[in-house]
Structures are given as C-alpha cells and as structure tokens.
C-alpha cells in the first residue's frame, strides 16, 4: 500500500519515463561526442597523428574506427601503435567498423578473428559489421543466413569480452513478403550476442522514423550514427543541426533505444571542408542537445 498520493505520483512519473524512454541516457549524461573516422577518410591515411589531433581539438572525446585489414592493419599502423596516438590525444576508441565480406560470403573466419584481436588490443567495446555485399542479401533466406553468422560471430566476440554490432544502411528495409531484412536480423539474432547501430540518416532516408523502430525493439540499438540530411537534396549530408532531421526530438528517446554511444558521421557535401564540417556538428550537439 502506498503511504501517500505524493509517493504514488512520483512512482507513476518514474514508470512513465521508463516505458516511454523519454529520459536522459548515460551517453547524454557523459556529454561525450564521438566521431566515425570514416568522415575524414581523405585526411586520415595521409597523416594519422595530425588528423587525430585535429579531431580532439574539434571537441570529440570518442571515436569509431574503420579501415582495418590483416595486410595493412590501420593505414600501416599496428593496433597498439594506433592506440598510443589515440591516448595521446585523449580519444577513446569505442567501436570499429571491420570488413567481414569473406565471412558472410563463405564463412571464412580469418578477418573476423583478426578484427577481434585488434579490438582487444585497442580496448574497444564493440566490433561492428558495417556492410553486406549485394550478393549476400538477395532474399529473406539470405538474411536468415546472415543472422546465423551474426550469432556465431557474436559468441566469439562475447568470449573475447566484446559485443558484436550490426550497422544499417537503407537496403535492410527492403521487404521480402511481409518482413524486411532488418526485421529478420532483429528477430533471428540473440539479444545477448548482437546489438545494432542505427544509422539515423539511412532510416529516415528509407521513409521510416527512428522512434517507431525503437518502440518495436526497445534496447536493441546500442549505438547511433548521427548525420544530417540536406534540406534541398535528401541524397546529400549536411552538418548536424543544419538539415531536416530533428535530432533534438530523436535524442529524447535515447533510453528507449538503449543507446550507449553515438558517432557523428559525414560522407559527402562538407561545408566548408571535412574538418570544418565535423567541428560545426560537434558544436551543435554540445550546445543544443547535450547542454
């Protein structure tokens, strides 16, 4: 029995916040802004140390990596060498996008195991699948096969103290009968082994709304990609806060999503340039969203 109406009202308010997800996530409380380093793909391979210094100066404290291969590692740097540069610039590597095409095509585990080893050295929390080649996603059955391989890879990651994550584009929302590829991946993957990284731009570009996906699968989207959509041409990116995506509203549902980390990503249409673009996006997020 409740002792007073005041206690009852307080508990109801807590319940409303929990079930709607309209509350502050840990990521927002930390006020860390992350950057997917693919945004600087023309600069980074030429000068890793100098570019990462500029990322830190732009206001970022976390990064998501890309570009690893068994042959070249990270632009010629071994994971331990890259980690040293990141540490020197106060940048925490949280996740990495790792090419797994051979694994999803044939089950070849070489790149998968190399990625896990690199992630452990770097101190990552997530190994993220960034892309599926077109010939591995032509049907519902293909997506069921992908889900099985995600579960297996997720178990390997778990054994290594990591979490596997899948990053979407738009093709996952193509329908096969009554369900999309993303529906199949969410349904057929083990929540304990596989998380998802929502690219919010691609969700909206597909004609969907992030909140509806959060509501359908609460807690599954542990990371987000934040890039804005040009108001005059949806095929183009723009700096966060300058486009048509209402990120202030989307961040209200961070807790419902399960979002722990988010990364700014910019792929085209930089204004005034790559570094100027990421600096402007970071400033908007800190001033308008994480304030």
Q: pLDDT tens digits, residue range 220-256?
A: 999 999 999 999 999 999 999 999 999 999 999 999 9
Q: pTM for the whole thing? A: 0.91
What average pLDDT score do residues 260-264 get?
98
Give the least confident one: 4-18, 24-38, 185-199, 258-272.
Answer: 4-18
Per DSSP, helices labelled H in the chain are 5-20, 26-30, 48-57, 79-88, 101-106, 110-122, 140-159, 181-188, 200-205, 210-216, 247-251, 254-257, 274-284
Q: Would you place residue 23 in the very low, low, confident or very high pLDDT band (cuts 50, 70, 90)? A: low
Q: Mention every residue, 6+ apart, whose C-beta is less than 8 A from residue 41.
A: 66, 67
The torsion angle over the Cα atoms of residues 171, 173, 176 and 182, rounded to 10 degrees, is 100
d(CA 195, CA 197): 7
**DSSP-derived pairing of the beta strands 175-176 and 179-180:** antiparallel
Q: Helix crossing, 140-159 with 181-188: angle to 10°?
A: 40
């Amino acid at each position: 029995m409740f002792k007073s109406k005041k206690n009852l009202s307080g508990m109801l308010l807590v319940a409303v916040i929990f079930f709607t997800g309209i509350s502050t996530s840990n990521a927002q409380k930390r006020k860390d802004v992350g950057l997917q380093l693919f945004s600087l793909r023309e600069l980074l391979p030429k000068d890793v140390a100098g570019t990462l210094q500029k990322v830190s100066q732009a206001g970022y404290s976390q990064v998501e990596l890309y570009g690893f291969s068994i042959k070249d590692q990270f632009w010629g740097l071994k994971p331990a060498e890259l980690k040293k540069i990141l540490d020197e610039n106060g940048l925490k590597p949280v996740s990495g996008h790792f090419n797994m095409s051979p694994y999803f095509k044939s089950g070849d585990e070489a790149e998968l195991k190399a990625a896990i080893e690199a992630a452990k050295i770097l101190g990552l929390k997530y190994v993220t699948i960034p892309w599926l080649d077109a010939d591995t996603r032509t049907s519902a059955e293909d997506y069921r096969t992908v889900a099985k391989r995600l579960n297996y890879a997720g178990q390997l990651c778990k054994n290594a103290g990591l979490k596997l994550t899948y990053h979407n584009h738009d093709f996952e929302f193509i329908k096969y009968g009554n369900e999309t590829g993303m529906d199949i991946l969410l349904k057929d993957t083990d929540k304990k082994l596989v998380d998802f990284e929502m690219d919010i731009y691609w969700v909206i570009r597909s004609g969907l709304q992030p909140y509806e996906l959060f509501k359908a699968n609460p807690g599954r989207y542990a990371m987000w990609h934040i890039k804005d959509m040009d108001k005059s041409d949806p095929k183009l990116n723009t700096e966060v806060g300058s486009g048509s995506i209402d990120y202030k509203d989307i961040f209200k549902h961070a807790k419902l999503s399960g979002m722990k980390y988010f990364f700014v990503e910019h792929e085209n249409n930089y204004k005034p340039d790559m570094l100027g673009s990421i600096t402007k996006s970071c400033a908007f997020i800190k001033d308008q969203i994480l304030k």
